[in-house]
Amino acid sequence: MRFSKIFIPTFKEAPKDVVLKSHEYLVRGGFIQQIGSGIYHFLPLGKRVLDKIKSIVKEEMDKAGANEVALGFVTPASLWQKSGRYQRYGKELLRFNDRKDNAFVLGPTHEESVTELVRANVKSYKQLPLHLYQMNIKFRDEMRPRFGLMRAREFIMKDGYSFHSSFEDLKREFDLMEQTYSKIFSRLGLDFRAVFADSGAIGGSGSKEFMVLAKSGEDTICVCDTCQYGANLEAATRKQVMPSTDAPQAEFAKFHTPGITSIEALADFFKITPFWTLKAVVKRAIFDEGRSALVYFFLRGSDVLNPIKALNAIVGANELVEASQEEIKEVGLIPGFIGPFALRNLTNSPYIYFDKELQDAKSLICGANALDYHFVGVDLSTFEGLEYKDLIEVQVGDLCPVCGVSKGGELYFTKGIEVGHIFQLGTKYSSAMDATFLDEMGKAQPFVMGCYGIGISRLLSAIIEQHHDEKGMLWTQATTPFSVDIMVSNIKDSAQLEMGEKIYTALSAEGIECLLDDRGERYGAKIADFELIGLPFGIIVGKGLEKGEIEFVRRKDLSKQVLKVSDFRALIAGLKEWISKCH
Ligand code: ATP
Ligand code: MG
């Protein structure tokens, strides 16, 4: 392709309010252009990258046995009413009516559409499993579209949906998709982790996110310094923490602790570490139709409650909010002295949860539900019917749940960009939408479903967030719009232009994608564009040609090599070898 013929509007200045380098460079480099808030055009360079990403995704998805389709973007609202999401989805769902006053939505995701498609066409277990995917436009009316393609309103997603006759088969597909996604992101040249994600009611390993590691990532992820373990904060677990100090030696007793209302003060008072104290956290849970109730969480004084784990512990709760001291006093409790003794009787609450690391914990000190008193020598194994849940937020330095014992791996936090999400949906949508098949016994069963997303357009931003320098972008081998930028320093010099054309023709014939900068621009402008656009290699045909020399530049480190053109065939063979090896 010739630079003079391809539409690449580049800019020296960054657009206003730009925060991320990927946003700045993609716009300045002429890859994308904004047309409205969170809505972007893809220009030729951006489109080429998009197509490269899509073709890798397609290759790997097809290899895994999935079928590509293209589902209607405008979706009848009736489908969303059937699943119940028409009301629930919130303002991100753009709802509108047509001229006949029929209601529609712009698809932010396509579980409803695909479930209806399969419901109408798949009747028997013999037709399963089935995996349908597409790479198509999505619309989400995001509250704060930002960072260019990273959080757009209109964006491109690969969304796949699989249908199974059993949970075992879904698990098999889920594992296959985990492998497939790993191949895709490796081929794209990305440093990434597959992390356990919160999957609400489904729990366990029902959901994984693929995170591109980048300082600018919006998500905090918890990873192991030794193995591949990774998880979102709300899904991260650890090897159970063991005491680092001796247990306080005390028989069970009520102790006068005047004015001791914090964990620090309590630990100080008894000369113990907070590990041996029991912390009570009281919140208000909001349920459907505005019903609310106080909820009680207990964890070791040395631990911190994770709000999402806490919310997931309560069946049916939609939100947790702070509980005021007054609300707590109203139910007869004394802030600072709350403990598990007689709590159920006092409060009448069914919502009392203990962190699972407290299972059968002994030698604890906790509030006595009486002003200025704590109990010492508390043994939780003597309580009956305590409900244990994973409630704690892991901390830097906690031991990895996978290799903490065998290899001493420690957890730390890093930042990631979510580029993919795989999810074991189960029968959530099929049950709601009456989508059933006949099993081997001839009995109607709801399809067991999985869904699998990749942020195709977000990937452009993610690649650049991970691969750029202060001058511009650094495309990876698999995603670069062209491999080489052949810059003719001065097109008025016919020898230079001729040599540029000759190299362009020869390399193109070798299957190398070249951009020939044959514009009447200054040399400086060409180099600046080369650095900004970030093709992996440049060839400079300039003054040196008088001595029979050209320059070969590697974009990554801007290192230069002078090459002789006298033996042209050897030159092309050498260039070809470097280009394939030097990435
Ligand atoms: P996020 O947490 O970033 O809002 P999500 O969890 O809502 O994303 P999914 O529903 O899992 O997103 O969608 C699948 C993929 O689509 C995501 O992993 C992400 O890469 C991409 N994606 C989601 N929302 C956007 C957006 N507003 N702009 C660009 N890509 C997006
Ligand atoms: Mg997600």
Note the pLDDT of residue 582: 64
For residue 188, the model assigns a pLDDT of: 98
Write the residue with the smallest CA distance to atom 18 of ligand 1: 420
Please work out, in degrees rounded to the nearest 5, the angle formed at the alpha carbon of residue 432 by the alpha carbons of 431 and 434.
60
Q: With pLDDT > 90 as the criterion, what percentage of the chain qualifies?
A: 95
- Ligand 1 close to Cβ of residue 195 (< 6 A): no
Q: How far is the CA of 42 from the centre of ligand 1 (A)?
A: 19
Residues with Cβ within 8 Å of 531's Cβ and at least 6 positions away in sequence, in order, are 471, 472, 555, 558
Which token pair is 4? 């003079």
Residue 200 has pLDDT above 80, yes or no: no
The answer to whether the CB of 141 falls within 8 A of the CB of 105 is no
pLDDT at 583 over 60: no
DSSP-H helix ranges across 321-412: 325-330, 343-347
Q: What contacts 172, CB < 8 A, 6 or more positions away?
A: none
The pLDDT confidence band at residue 198, using thresholds 50, 70 and 90, is confident
Best residue among 109, 458, 459, 463 to mutate for probing ligand 1's pocket (most ligand atoms within 8 Å of CB) is 458
Residue bearing the CA closest to ligand 1, atom 8: 418
Nearest Cα to Cα of residue 390 among 231, 197, 238: 238
Q: What is the pLDDT of residue 205?
A: 60
Residue 201 has pLDDT above 60, yes or no: no
Please give the single-letter amino acid code of residue 35.
I
Amino acid occupying residue 391: L
State the Cα angle at 250 between 249 and 253, rounded to 5°. 165
* Domain at 484-582, CATH homologous superfamily: Anticodon-binding domain (3.40.50.800)
Average pLDDT over residues 359-372: 96
Indicate the CATH number for domain 3-237+412-465.
3.30.930.10
- Evaluate if residue 206 carries a pLDDT over 90: no
DSSP character for 151?
B
CA of 142 to the centre of ligand 1 (A): 10
Mean pLDDT of 521-545: 97
Q: Which residues surround ligand 2, an ion (CB under 5 A)?
A: 421
Handedness of CA 172, 174, 180, 183 (dihedral sign): negative
Give the confidence band of 46 by pLDDT, cuts at 50, 70, 90.
very high
| Dihedral pair phi/psi, residue 27, rounded to 5° | -75, -50
**Domain ranges across the chain:** 3-237+412-465, 253-386, 484-582
Determine the average pLDDT of the residues in 19-37.
97
Of 55, 48, 56, the C-alpha closest to 30 is 48
β-strands 411-426, 448-455 pairing: antiparallel
Q: Looking at the CA of 37, name the nearest ligand.
A: 1
Ligand 1 close to Cβ of residue 142 (< 6 A): yes
Mean pLDDT across the stretch 461-483?
98
Mean pLDDT of 129-153: 97
3-class SS at 36? strand
Question: Around Cβ 133, how many Cβ atoms within 10 Å?
Answer: 26
Tell how far the Cα of 129 is from the centroid of ligand 1, in angstroms.
Answer: 26
| Contact between 472 and 503 (Cβ < 8 Å) | no
Res 291 pLDDT > 70: yes
Q: What angle do CA 516, 519, 520 make, to 5 degrees?
A: 150
Per residue in 301-353, pLDDT tens?
999 999 999 999 999 999 999 999 999 999 999 999 999 999 999 999 999 99
Taking the C-alpha atoms of residue 488 and residue 503, their distance in angstroms, rounded to an integer, is: 11
pLDDT mean over 278-294: 95
Topology at the third CATH level for domain 253-386: YbaK protein (3.90.960)
Check whether 473 has a pLDDT greater than 60: yes
**Residue 563: its pLDDT value, please?**
96
What is the token pair recorded at 394? 């892991």
Long-range pairs, 41-45, Cβ under 8 A, ≥24: 42/457, 43/7, 43/8, 43/9, 44/6, 44/7, 44/8, 44/481, 45/6, 45/8, 45/481, 45/533
Phi/psi at 550 (5° precision): -130, 170
- Nearest ligand to residue 219 Cα: 1
Query: Is the pLDDT confidence value at 203 over 60?
Result: no
Ligand whose nearest atom lies closest to the CA of 458: 1
- 501-528 pLDDT, tens digit per residue, is 999 999 999 999 999 999 999 999 999 9
User: What's 521's DSSP letter?
Assistant: -
What is the average pLDDT value for the chain, to the nearest integer?
A: 95
Instruction: Find out whether the beta carbon of 108 lies less than 6 Å from any atom of ligand 1.
Output: no
CB of 418 shorter than 6 A to ligand 1: yes
- Distance between CA atoms of 78 and 65, rounded to whole angstroms? 31
Do 231 and 198 touch, CB atoms closer than 8 A? no
> Tokens 């591949």 map to which residue?
228
Q: Which atom of ligand 1 is nearest to the CA of 109?
A: 10
Least distant ligand from the CA of 218: 1
Which of 421, 423, 424, 457 for a ligand 1 pocket mutation test, highest count of atoms within 8 Å of Cβ?
421
